[in-house]
Amino acid sequence: MPELRHLRYFRAVAEELHFGRAAERLHMAQPPLSQQIRQLEAEVGAQLLTRTTRSVGLTRAGEAYLRRAVRILDAVDAAGSEARRIADGVEGQLTIGCVGSATYSLLPRLARALGETLPGIEVSVRGEMLAPAQLSALEAGEIDLALLRPPAGRAGITAVTVRRDRLLVAVPADHRLGARRHVRVADLRDETFIVHAGQGRSTMSTLVATLCGQAGFVPAVRHEVIETSTLVTLVAAGLGIAIVPAPTAELAILGVRYVPLSPASLTVDLLAAHATDNALPSLPRVLEVLAAVAASYPRSGSYTNR
């Protein structure tokens, strides 16, 4: 069975049609090269080259063998190049999970930056995932990177804070609080709430219950939803109000106004998490891009009324 080196030797001679030039190209002496070509012909069982004292040519068998050899060598070289790019973290596949508010704000900017900085990385996205679902997906290897709200304290999960988002109150456009410059949690005592799914499935649901409890009341929850887009749509429909992270305002649904929750220290973090043992070569580079995108993102408190 011919070895790859034999194919490389033969290709050099066939393309140069001169043993001396081929030997120089291969950085070897001519006699060993001639010997390797003869060995290749013996293994193939056909004469591949014609030789005279003045010229070297390809036989019909040699022409056919060269076409196949070139395809094989190019494929091997391409495979090696692809493997090196993947090992260097500049090529491969990456799946990102994302909570609702980041799906409509940070994620588009991140996807664009990855496309510009790491065009060889094929990015797929699973948006509108609640935090517990993302953590389970990380553990199962279904996603490589999670953008979620805390807590993310599970064994085998590494998490860092990406940014801190101010909390807003989303109210129907004609709501009595819509014209306020800010509202306190206590101002929401008599309101009907729309929240993300509770019972430990949503960080925001737990946070809303905690804030209202600290203000001395239990929120009257009318609807529990999974997706942030659905939550804001129900607010626009006049079915209640919702406490949301500031980036939710980038979800362009008419009929909703966003009012900052006071004091300004009422915030919620956005984390980037991954399995600690995730050996994906591109992950460190992706995290660098994410940090740069998050650093250029408008600070919490920047929002748009609609």
pLDDT in tens, the chain (306 residues): 678 888 899 899 989 898 889 899 999 999 999 999 999 989 989 999 998 877 899 999 989 999 999 998 888 887 777 677 666 666 678 899 998 888 888 888 998 998 898 888 888 888 888 888 899 999 999 999 999 998 877 889 999 999 999 999 999 999 999 999 999 999 999 999 999 886 656 788 889 999 999 999 999 999 999 888 999 999 999 999 999 999 999 887 899 999 999 999 999 999 999 999 887 888 888 899 999 998 886 654 445 454
Q: According to CATH, what is the number of the domain 164-267?
A: 3.40.190.10
Cα pseudo-dihedral 19, 22, 23, 25, rounded to 10:
170
Choosing among 3.40.190.10, 3.30.590.10, 1.10.760.10, 3.50.50.60, the CATH entry for 92-163+268-295 is: 3.40.190.10
**Reported pTM:** 0.68
Q: Cβ neighbours of residue 51 under 8 Å, at least 6 residues apart?
A: none
Q: Is 296 exposed, middle or buried (0-12, 13-18, 19+ CB in 10 A)?
A: exposed
Q: 3-class DSSP state for residue 94?
A: strand
Per-domain residue ranges of the chain? 4-87, 92-163+268-295, 164-267
Q: According to CATH, what is the number of the domain 4-87?
A: 1.10.10.10
Let me know: does 90 contact 121? Beta carbons within 8 Å. Answer: yes
Q: What is the pLDDT of residue 304?
A: 46
